[in-house]
Chain A
Amino acid sequence: MSFVRTFILYMPRDSFIHRLDPATKLIIMLTLSIQALVVGEPISGAVVFVASMLFFLAANLPMGVLRATLKYWLATMVIIWITYTYSYSSQGSVLWQYGWLRLTDYSVLLALTVMFRLFSVVTLALLLYCSTTQRDIIAGFRKLGMPYLLTFVFALAIRTLSVLYSDYNRIREAQMARALEMETGRFFERLKKHVYLMGPLIVTALSRVEAMSASIESRAFKVKKAGKRTFYYVTHMRDVDYVITCSLLLETIIFLVLRYLYGYFTVPWLLSLIP
């Protein structure tokens, strides 16, 4: 089943990462993402990225997954480069100038940093989704303290979107069967035709929502916490999970202290290291 249909990317593999408790994987993703987003200069950014890649490879996941997303990375990278080099062109010392185009050391370094941020976050997200089943992801969030209602809504949203996507296809076919031309023609023309799909889609969505809500109510679902809900599916943390989680949390705290209290890992700090 395709990703668009089900929003699932899970790839079963025999790997160290796959065997970790989902909460641990969430911690890996969260701590490394925080560090990736907060880091201020490209060298450290690259380090975080390499760490993310190492985790990715440790999960035996095919590089093809990253390659598939590469074209989106490249497109975003170009945009990042343009925005950053332009908006920071007033800071720092000028490296190169041509007319009003100006490259400064600040702007180049920041553009590189943001690029690594993006790469890291995408790699970590893919790492999580490809190595963990949706059920585990939700169980992991719950273990980290997310309220049940939120995780339930999240899971239900995914399921509803998946069902609505099938409905969308069926509606599209039904309208095409009445000569609505959706296969040929310019992109915007075809986009405009979607107006004829909206009405039926909304009607169908509303009736689905009603049916789903009757279905969950009939099985004693309570919105207000009545306290005693059992969770049939539980995962267990092993020693290795605790080790990884604690070390990462510790490392992140140290990192944040160094970053914010002492200004480490920023562009000025990096430049100060160069003699």
Chain B
Amino acid sequence: MKSSAPPVIKVEQLSHTYPDGTNALEDVDSEIERGEFIGIIGQNGSGKTTLVKHFNGLLKPTKGRVLVDSVDTREKTIAYLSTKVGYVFQNPDHQISQETTEAELAFGPRNLGLSPTEIDHRVKEALRSVGIEHLATRHPLLTSKAERQMIAIASVLTMKPDVIIVDEPTTGQDKKQSRQTMKMLADLNAAGHTVIIITHDMSLAAEYTRRVIVFHKGRIILDGPPKNVFKETGILRESGLRPPQITCLAQMLQPCGFSPDVTSVAEMYDEFKRVYGRS
């Protein structure tokens, strides 16, 4: 997957120690190419959120450095970096400060000092990509939790960042809403955005992302395509994680000839037909 273009995010020997002394990240190295769809998993406190906060400058390294679009994050303000890396927080209620969805979406571009025509254009585009045109004039607080999550993502899109980070896109949502959110993120990824999600939901990570990074105690312990990562049940268990249920099933059925490289229900079905047809 490596192209000749420089990675959109490069992490070099990154360590981060919080003021109270906790070592949140220890000597982390990583590269993220443009157009990737990455899922970051790991226990609470393993360093996932700490890492991604370095990508838009909310945190600065205590050792090592982070390059976003070949620029050292320590040399730029968060406002500048937010045009490259959009961060959608876990709780959309932490952002909503305007009275209509349109105004909410315009918040970012207005802070950037763009012209009213440009702002208007971007707002309309974002409403369309996320599929919430019908909420344009609604007060954001009067929408459902899932709709608010969409508004939050759209309001980050208006900044036109290359990279979109979503922290726990599906917590507190039912499965249908979760899938809607993930499908929207997949569409954004197809349109060219680099998407990074932090999640506890192994099955969604397996199904939608193309690369999974596993954190444990401030270090990356696994990094690769979902198939490869979810095969390592022992390592995952040590970090309090488990592969998706369907992957566990495939692993359990290995004696019958099943391949453990299954990460979704559809794949399992195909695998079953293969095994069954062969018998």
Contact = CB atoms under 8 A, between A and B. Distances in A.
Q: Do chains A and B touch in the complex (CB under 8 A)?
A: yes
B87 interface: yes
Contacts of A199: 96-98
A224 interface: no
B79 A1 contact: no
Interface string B110-149: 0110000000000000000000000000000100000000
Interface in A1-21: 1-2
Given A1-B20, A2-B19, A184-B77, A177 B82 contact: yes
A167 B107 CA distance: 20
B260 interface: no
Nearest to B59: A173
Interface in A151-195: 167, 170-171, 173-184
A179 B20 CA distance: 28
Nearest to B90: A170
Interface in A194-237: 196-200, 203-204, 207
B97 A179 contact: no
Contacts of A174: 87, 89, 94-95
Contact of A207 (B19, B82, B93, B156): B93
B96 A183 contact: no
Contacts of B91: 170, 204
Contact of A180 (B79, B86, B89): B79
Contacts of A2: 19-20
Interface residues of A, number: 25
Given A177-B82, A177-B86, A178-B155, A200 B93 contact: yes
B93 A176 contact: no
Nearest to B56: A177
Interface in B98-114: 98, 107-108, 111-112
Contacts of B94: 167, 170-171, 174, 200, 204
B95 A203 contact: no
A183 B79 contact: yes
Is chain A's interface secondary structure helix, strand, loop, or mixed overall?
Answer: helix
A179 B112 contact: yes
Nearest to B58: A173
Contacts of B53: 173
Contacts of A204: 91, 93-94
Contacts of B95: 171, 174-175, 178, 200
B78 interface: yes
B229 interface: no
Interface in A22-76: none
Given A1-B20, A179-B108, A200 B96 contact: yes
A31 to B, nearest CB: 36
B212 interface: no
A181 B79 contact: yes
Nearest to A1: B20
A113 B59 CA distance: 48
Interface string B19-43: 1100000000000000000000000
A196 to B, nearest CB: 5
A186 to B, nearest CB: 15
B159 interface: yes
A205 to B, nearest CB: 11
25 contacts: A1-B20, A2-B19, A170-B91, A170-B94, A171-B94, A171-B95, A176-B82, A177-B58, A177-B78, A177-B86, A177-B87, A178-B82, A178-B95, A178-B159, A179-B108, A179-B111, A179-B112, A179-B159, A180-B79, A180-B111, A182-B78, A200-B94, A200-B96, A203-B93, A203-B96
Interface of A: 1-2, 167, 170-171, 173-184, 196-200, 203-204, 207
Closest 6 pairs between A and B when the two form their complex, measured CB to CB: A179-B111, A178-B108, A199-B97, A177-B87, A181-B79, A179-B79
